A and B are shown apart, each in its own frame.
Chain A
Amino acid sequence: MNPFAKGQGAFIKITSLTVGLTVGLVLLAKVQLERNYDRCIVDKEHVYELQETMQRAGEELEQHGCTSGGIAPVLAEEIPEVVTATRYTAQFGEEKLTLEDGSRHYFEQAVFADSCFFDIFVTSTLVGEAKQILSTAGQCMISRRLSEKMGGEVVGQTFCFASAPQKPMTICGIYEDYPENSTFARFDILMSMPSVGTYAWDGTENLIGNDRYHSYVRLRSDADMEKVRSEVKQLLQRILPWEDLKQSGYTDAGYVLVSVEGSRMKDTTVRTTCIILAVVALVMLFTAVMNYILVVISSLVGRARQVAVRKVLGAPHREFFLGSIGEAALHLLAALALMSLLLYVGQDLTSDLLGVSVTTLFSRQTFTVLLAVCLIVLLSCGILPGFILSRIPLAYAYRLYSESKRMWKLSLLAFQFVLTTMLLCVLTTIYRQYHYMLNTDMGYQYDEVAYVNVSALHGDSIYSLAREIENLPCVEKTAAAYSLFCERQSGDNVLVPGNPQELFNCANMFFAEGGLVETMGLQIVRGRDFERVNHKGWQPEMLVDEHFAQKMKEVAGIDDVVGQQFVNSSLGNQYPLTVVGIVKDFKMGSLVSREERPIMVVNGNVFTHYIMLKLQRITPENLATVQQLCDHLYPDAELNVKLYSNEMADQYQETQRTRDLVMIGCLASLLITLIGLIGYVRDEVQRRSRELAIRKVVGATESEVQLLFARSIAVIALPSIALGIVLGWYLSTLLMQQFAYKVPLLWYVFAADALAVILIIAAIVFIQTRRVANDNPVEYLKKE
C-alpha cells in the first residue's frame, strides 16, 4: 500500500497530524516543564520553605512566603534535624551594570545569597570557591550567560549597578545557568549576603520584621516532621520578642515549614494554566488522531477493492494491520518533520508564547512524555484503521464499496465539535478577561501617562529632571514617585503616636511628590493634595485612600483622619505623619491579585525611582521629545521613557500568554475539525450523489438537498456543541479562579460561541453541497 497514494487523503492526514502534534506536543512539553519545575533542588522531599505567619487580635492568620533574614541560620544552628539552611533576597533587576573598562551590560536579576545557597539550589560552580565568595562582603558570582555576554574574562573585575553607581562589587566566580524552568533562571548575579549593608538596610540577622528574604532548610532524611515542628515552635517561643509583638497588637507570630515538593503546582495560577494547557494539548492531539481515522474511513470507498483483491489472493489480516501501522508511522514521521520545520521557523514566537526556549521544551526533561505521546498517536492512527481494513468483505473485490460507516464518522466528528466548541468558549472567556484587565477602571487614569525609571539618578537630579520635563509643551504634569501603582507595594504598620499598638498593615507607596494626584488622575475626596517639596526633601504629611479612613474608623474609632497624626513602622515614632487628604479608592497592583490593604503615601522627593509624566497626548513625537531631553541632560544614565499602559500590559503577560496559547489551540482545533468536516461532507456527497440526484428528480429543490445534509450534521453537531458549551463553561470557571477581579460568565456570550460554531459548520456544509445540489441530477444517475 502506498501511504502517499492519490485519493487516500495523505495530505489532509499529514496536515492535521502536523497541526495537532505541533500544538499538542509543545503545550504538553510546557506542562511537563512546569511539573519538573525547580529540579535543581535536589532531595526535594526533605527541603522546606520557611513561611511567616502573623495574626492580630480579631483577624485571620496571615501566611506568606517571605521571612526575616536571620531565621534560617538560627534554625540550622538550633534544630538538630536541619542539615543546612539558606536564604536569598532580590535587590536589583533588569538594568545595566558598568564594568571597570566602562562597558555596560544588561542583566536580569541580582540577589543577595548566603554561602549555603548552592547546597540547596544545586548547579555547577565553573570558577571560584562559592562558599568563600558568598561569605565575603563586596564579592559576587555571576551566571555563565552573563559572563559570556560580558566577554568571558571577567573574574576579578569590579562593576557598579546603574542604580548604585558608587558602590563597586567584585566578580569572583561563575556558576552554570539554572534551567529555564526554575525560580533561579533569571538570577544573573549572586551577591554575598554580607554585602547587603552596602546597598540596603541590613536585616540579615533579624528574627522578625524586614521580611524580604526567601528562606529554605533541608532536613535529615530520617527527620520526624512532628518533632521538628515542635522544636521550631519551642525555639520561636524562646527567641522571638513576644512582648514587643503583643504591644504591637499581634496575638501570634511564627514560621512554618512548607514542603517544596510539588509547591509549584499548588499555585492556583500555575495549576489552572497547566490544566488549561493540558486540556488544549490533549484536545489537539485527540482531534488530530480522530481526523486521521476519519480520513482513513472516508477513503475506504476508493481503497476497498484493492484490499478485497489482496484478501482474495490470500493476504493475512496482519498484513493490513502492519501495513496500516507502517503507513501511520510514515505519516507521523512526515508530520514530525514538518513540525520541526514549523518550530524552527517560529521559535521566537514559541519562546514568547511559552516563556521558555524551544530547545528547553524538547529537552531530556520532556523527552519521555513526548515519545510516549508519539507512540500513542502512532498506535491510534495505525491499529483502528488496520482493524477496519482487515474487516472489509471479500465481496468488494467485484462490487462497489459504498458502506457508509456514517456512525463512525459522525462519532468522530462529534468529538471534534465538542472539543472545538469547548476551546472557543475558553478562548472567549480569557479574551474577555484580558480585555477587562486592560480596560477596566482602575480608579486612576493612565492612558496618557508615561514614566522614566530614574534609579540611576540622585534626589536633586530627579527633582531637576522632573521640572525640566514638566516644562516641555507636550507635558501636562510630572511627579517623582517611589513606586508604580501597578507594582506590589511593601507593607507598613500604622500606629497612633504614643500608642505602641500597631493598628493595621497598609500598602506603603513611601514617597511621592506633589503633582502625583493630577498626573495619575486621582480624585481628592477630602482635604488637599500635597504641596510640592523643593529639591531633595520631604514633609511629614501623607495622603491616604478612603479604605484607610474607613479602617481607622473601625479599628481606632477615628471619624475623620484628615489633620490627624499617625506613625508608620518604617519612619518610626520620631516622624509622625499628618494626613492632609483622602483620595478616592483606586486599584493598586494588578487585577490578578486583589490589594486588600489600605494605601498611604508620604510627601517627598526622596528614594524616588520614577518620574511619572502626563502627556498632552501619547504620540511617538511627544515620547521622543521627552526621551531626547533625558538623553541630553543625563547621557550616561540610560534613562528610558516608557508607556505606563505597557507596564500594565506586562502585569498580565501570563494571562496574555494563556490567551494566545488557547487561541492557537482553538484555531488549530477548528482547522483540523474543518478539515475533517470538509472531508466528511465531500465523501458523503460522493457516496450519496445518486440518492441526491434521485431526490432532485422526484422534486427536491437544491436548498432541500442542502438541508438534508445540514440536518444530518445538525443531529450530531447540536448536542456536541451543547456538551462543548458545558465543558467550556466548566473550564472557564476554573480559569477564572486565578483572577481577583473577573468578568462575569455571561450565558449569551456562550450562546454566541455556539452560534459561531453552528454558522461555521453550516457554511462548510452549504458550500460543499452547493455543487451537487445545483448540478444536473442526470449526471449523477449516469455514473451509476
Chain B
Amino acid sequence: MIKLKNIKKVFRTDVVETTALGGINMEVKDGEFVAIMGPSGCGKSTLLNILGLLDNPTEGEYWLDNVEVGKLKERQRTLTRRGQIGFVFQSFNLIDELTVEQNIELPLKYLGVPAAERKERVTEIMRRMAISHRASHYPQQLSGGQQQRVAIARAVVVRPKLVLADEPTGNLDSKNGKEVMDLLTQLNAEGTTVVMVTHSQHDASFATRTINLLDGMVVEKTLL
C-alpha cells in the first residue's frame, strides 16, 4: 500500500537548514498495523505528515496504492487524502465550535456524501464508538478518552484504507489509552491499515511491526 523510496525532508529558514528525514526507505502492506518509534526530534511526526499527504517530501518517491503522490500540489494532496486516509492526533484536534456529531460528520461533508447517508453513517460510528449519548455535546464537555473516541470516529467514518495515528494515547490515562488501542486494533482487524507514531513500547506492542527512527533514518525494523 505504501512504498517510500529515499524520502528526505529538509526544513530551511533564512539562516539554518535542518534535515528531518535523511533518506527513508520503507514499505507498509495492506492491512498492516505499523508502529513508528524513536526519540523526540527523530522525524516520526514529519514522516507521518508525509504519509498522510499533509506535507511533501523534499526528495524521494512516495507511492500510495501504486500512485506516486510525493510531488502532488496542495489541492491534489487534499483530494487524494479525502476518504482514503484518516487521522488521529495526540491532542484530538476536534473543533470546539462543533458538536460531537458535527465533528464526525465533517469529513463526510467534504467528501460530498449526501445528508441522509451522512446521518446514517455518523449514527452508526457513534454507536460503535459508544458515544451516541454525547452526540450533541461539545468537545470541551467530554473527557479525554471520549474526545479521542470522537477523533477516531471522525477518522474512520469515511472508511479509509489507511489510518494514521500520532501518539493517540499520549494525553490519556492508561484505561482510556487501552480503549483507544483496542479500537485501533479492532479497525486493523477489520482490514484498515494503521500506521501509528508512539513513544510507548506498550502501545507499539499492539502493532504487527515496528519501525525505529533515529536522526531521520530507519535504524531497525522489528517484526513481532
Q: Does B81 interact with chain A (Cβ within 8 Å)?
A: yes
Place the interface of chain B in its size category: 20 to 34
Q: Does A699 interact with chain B (Cβ within 8 Å)?
A: yes
Residues B55 and A778 in contact, CB atoms below 8 Å apart: yes
Place the interface of chain A in its size category: 20 to 34
Given A700-B78, A701-B75, A778-B49, are A694 and B54 also a contact pair (CB < 8 Å)? no
A694 to B87, CA, bound (A): 10
Residues A694 and B107 in contact, CB atoms below 8 Å apart: no
Partner of B83, one of A690, A699, A700, A701: A699
Please report which residues of chain A, range 696-717, place their CB below 8 angstroms from some CB of chain B when the two chains form the complex: 696-704
Residues A695 and B106 in contact, CB atoms below 8 Å apart: yes
Please report which residues of chain B, range 119-169, place their CB below 8 angstroms from some CB of chain A when the two chains form the complex: 154, 158
* Residues of chain A lying within 8 A (CB to CB) of residue B97: 691
Q: Does A636 interact with chain B (Cβ within 8 Å)?
A: no
Nearest residue (CB) in A for B86 is A698
* Residues of chain A lying within 8 A (CB to CB) of residue B49: 776, 778
A696 to B91, CA, bound (A): 16
A694 to B151, CA, bound (A): 11
Partner of A694, one of B79, B81, B82, B95: B95
Q: Does A784 interact with chain B (Cβ within 8 Å)?
A: yes
Q: Does B89 interact with chain A (Cβ within 8 Å)?
A: yes
Given A691-B96, A694-B95, A778-B49, are A699 and B111 also a contact pair (CB < 8 Å)? yes
Q: Does A774 interact with chain B (Cβ within 8 Å)?
A: yes
* Residues of chain B lying within 8 A (CB to CB) of residue A777: 54
* Residues of chain A lying within 8 A (CB to CB) of residue B89: 781
Contact with B along A140-178 (1 / 0, CB 8 A): 000000000000000000000000000000000000000
Partner of A698, one of B45, B91, B107: B107
Residues A695 and B55 in contact, CB atoms below 8 Å apart: no
Given A691-B96, A778-B49, are A702 and B74 also a contact pair (CB < 8 Å)? yes
Nearest residue (CB) in A for B164 is A697
Given A777-B54, A778-B54, are A699 and B93 also a contact pair (CB < 8 Å)? no
Residues A699 and B78 in contact, CB atoms below 8 Å apart: yes
CB distance from B90 to the nearest CB of A (A): 10
Residues B54 and A697 in contact, CB atoms below 8 Å apart: yes
A776 to B94, CA, bound (A): 18
Residues A698 and B83 in contact, CB atoms below 8 Å apart: no
A702 to B41, CA, bound (A): 29
A335 to B96, CA, bound (A): 40
Residues A774 and B110 in contact, CB atoms below 8 Å apart: no
Residues A776 and B55 in contact, CB atoms below 8 Å apart: yes
A698 to B106, CA, bound (A): 7
Given A777-B54, A778-B55, A781-B93, are A698 and B154 also a contact pair (CB < 8 Å)? yes
A703 to B74, CA, bound (A): 11
Please report which residues of chain A, range 767-784, place their CB below 8 angstroms from some CB of chain B when the two chains form the complex: 774, 776-778, 781, 784
* Residues of chain A lying within 8 A (CB to CB) of residue B111: 699
A39 to B97, CA, bound (A): 62
Residues A774 and B74 in contact, CB atoms below 8 Å apart: yes
A509 to B111, CA, bound (A): 79
Nearest residue (CB) in B for A697 is B87
CB distance from B173 to the nearest CB of A (A): 21
Please report which residues of chain B, range 53-111, place their CB below 8 angstroms from some CB of chain A when the two chains form the complex: 54-55, 74-75, 78-79, 81-83, 87, 89, 91, 93-97, 106-107, 110-111
* Residues of chain B lying within 8 A (CB to CB) of residue A778: 45, 49, 54-55
Residues A690 and B75 in contact, CB atoms below 8 Å apart: no
* Residues of chain B lying within 8 A (CB to CB) of residue A702: 74-75, 78
A699 to B91, CA, bound (A): 19
A693 to B87, CA, bound (A): 12
Residues B110 and A704 in contact, CB atoms below 8 Å apart: yes
CB distance from B201 to the nearest CB of A (A): 25
A-B contact count (CB 8 A): 55
CB distance from B126 to the nearest CB of A (A): 16
* Residues of chain B lying within 8 A (CB to CB) of residue A704: 110
CB distance from A186 to the nearest CB of B (A): 65
CB distance from A32 to the nearest CB of B (A): 48
Residues B78 and A696 in contact, CB atoms below 8 Å apart: yes
Residues A701 and B78 in contact, CB atoms below 8 Å apart: yes
* Residues of chain A lying within 8 A (CB to CB) of residue B79: 701
A778 to B88, CA, bound (A): 13
Given A698-B154, A777-B54, are A690 and B93 also a contact pair (CB < 8 Å)? yes
Given A691-B97, A694-B95, are A699 and B54 also a contact pair (CB < 8 Å)? no
A776 to B82, CA, bound (A): 16
Contact with B along A747-784 (1 / 0, CB 8 A): 00000000000000000000000000010111001001
A778 to B78, CA, bound (A): 13
A777 to B107, CA, bound (A): 15
Residues A699 and B96 in contact, CB atoms below 8 Å apart: no
CB distance from B58 to the nearest CB of A (A): 13
Nearest residue (CB) in A for B45 is A778
Partner of B87, one of A698, A700, A703, A784: A698
CB distance from A51 to the nearest CB of B (A): 68
Contact with B along A438-480 (1 / 0, CB 8 A): 0000000000000000000000000000000000000000000
* Residues of chain B lying within 8 A (CB to CB) of residue A698: 87, 106-107, 110, 154
Given A691-B95, A691-B97, A778-B49, are A700 and B55 also a contact pair (CB < 8 Å)? no
Contact with B along A215-253 (1 / 0, CB 8 A): 000000000000000000000000000000000000000
Nearest residue (CB) in A for B87 is A697
CB distance from B100 to the nearest CB of A (A): 14
A701 to B87, CA, bound (A): 16
A285 to B2, CA, bound (A): 62
A546 to B87, CA, bound (A): 85
Nearest residue (CB) in B for A700 is B110
Residues B110 and A694 in contact, CB atoms below 8 Å apart: no
Nearest residue (CB) in A for B79 is A701
Residues A699 and B107 in contact, CB atoms below 8 Å apart: yes
A778 to B91, CA, bound (A): 12
A698 to B83, CA, bound (A): 9
A704 to B81, CA, bound (A): 15
A774 to B94, CA, bound (A): 20
* Residues of chain A lying within 8 A (CB to CB) of residue B96: 691
Given A702-B74, A781-B89, are A695 and B95 also a contact pair (CB < 8 Å)? yes
* Residues of chain B lying within 8 A (CB to CB) of residue A696: 78
CB distance from A781 to the nearest CB of B (A): 6
CB distance from B192 to the nearest CB of A (A): 16
* Residues of chain B lying within 8 A (CB to CB) of residue A697: 52, 54, 87, 93
Given A698-B106, A699-B111, are A784 and B54 also a contact pair (CB < 8 Å)? no
CB distance from B23 to the nearest CB of A (A): 21
16 A-B residue pairs with Cβ-Cβ distance under 8 Å, sorted by A, are: A695-B110, A696-B78, A697-B52, A697-B87, A698-B106, A699-B82, A699-B83, A699-B111, A701-B78, A701-B79, A701-B110, A702-B78, A704-B110, A774-B74, A778-B49, A778-B54
Known: A695-B110, A699-B81, A776-B55. 7 other contacts (CB 8 A): A691-B95, A695-B95, A697-B52, A699-B106, A701-B110, A702-B74, A784-B93
- Report the 9 A-B pairs with minimum CB-CB distance, sorted nearest first: A699-B110, A699-B82, A698-B107, A701-B78, A694-B93, A699-B107, A691-B95, A778-B54, A778-B49
Residues on A lying within 8 angstroms of B by beta carbon are 690-691, 693-704, 774, 776-778, 781, 784
